[in-house]
Structure 1
């Protein structure tokens, strides 16, 4: 029975330690998300001329 309690305590300790890892990964995740924002803006800028063509085509038709 003591072995089960020790195992449960060990699992509890691991679960409680998980937020520490989340805090360690948060700066990397923020930088990655900034990179995705820049990528999305770049794609939008590249497609802007096509958007103008579509708008003009819709106005003509």
Structure 2
């Protein structure tokens, strides 16, 4: 229930923002700002996985 509320509050209509963009620079900023958090989250997840996989203290 709470997750649905957060999802609903975080929905952003990217297509409408791009349609109403004043110039191309704004459009590029919207696209980068939309995808960058997901890319960073994926990189963070990979780093955590890689570090956990290669822990030396679990080899005993």
TM-score range, shorter chain: 0.3 to 0.5
TM-score normalised per structure 2: 0.45
Structure 1 or 2: larger helix share?
Answer: 1
* Greater relative contact order structure (CA < 8 Å, 6+ sep): 2
TM-score normalised per structure 1: 0.44
